[in-house]
């Protein structure tokens, strides 16, 4: 059974994408079968990072992923999760730093929710 880890909160700039990526890479280095899903098509930090690494080194091992269109809805997310879950032990969802229907749908799938926080007066 695939475990779903969701990195999310409604604030941008807290390190969600960075933590999602490093968690995926760390798990892959342990031999786990990992896939990632970037639920922030507007920002696309996780997707962009993976694409840049593949371009620099085509033989680099990166997690499997599916690109969702900007107008993706919960049903499309369900299909993407089902596609990625087959053949992977862990699926990591990276959510946007805003409250969107797609982010809410992603949070509903979480077996584990990781909510990074900044330690500052304004946050």
pLDDT tens-digit readout, 25-58: 999 999 999 999 999 878 888 888 888 888 888 8
Determine the Cα–Cα distance for residues 70 and 22; give it in Å rounded to an integer. 24
**CA nearest 81: which of 28, 38, 27?**
38
Amino acid 12: pLDDT: 82
Assess whether pLDDT exceeds 70 at residue 93: yes
Determine the Cα–Cα distance for residues 1 and 86; give it in Å rounded to an integer. 9
Hey, what are 49's tokens?
């990072």
Amino acid 23: pLDDT: 96
Q: Whole-model pTM?
A: 0.88
| CATH 3.10.20.30, domain 3-114, yes or no | no
- What are the structural domain ranges in the chain? 3-114
């Amino acid at each position: 059974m695939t475990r779903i880890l969701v990195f999310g909160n409604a604030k941008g700039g807290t390190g969600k994408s960075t933590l999602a990526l490093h968690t995926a890479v760390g798990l892959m280095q342990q031999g786990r079968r990992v896939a990632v899903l970037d639920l922030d098509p507007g920002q696309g930090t996780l997707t962009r990072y993976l694409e840049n690494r593949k371009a620099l080194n085509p033989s680099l091992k990166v997690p499997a992923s599916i690109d969702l269109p900007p107008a993706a809805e919960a049903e499309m997310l369900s299909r993407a999760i089902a596609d990625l879950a087959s053949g992977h032990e862990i699926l990591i969802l990276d959510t946007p730093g805003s409250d969107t229907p797609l982010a809410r749908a992603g949070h509903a799938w979480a077996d584990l929710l990781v909510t990074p926080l900044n330690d500052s007066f304004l946050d």
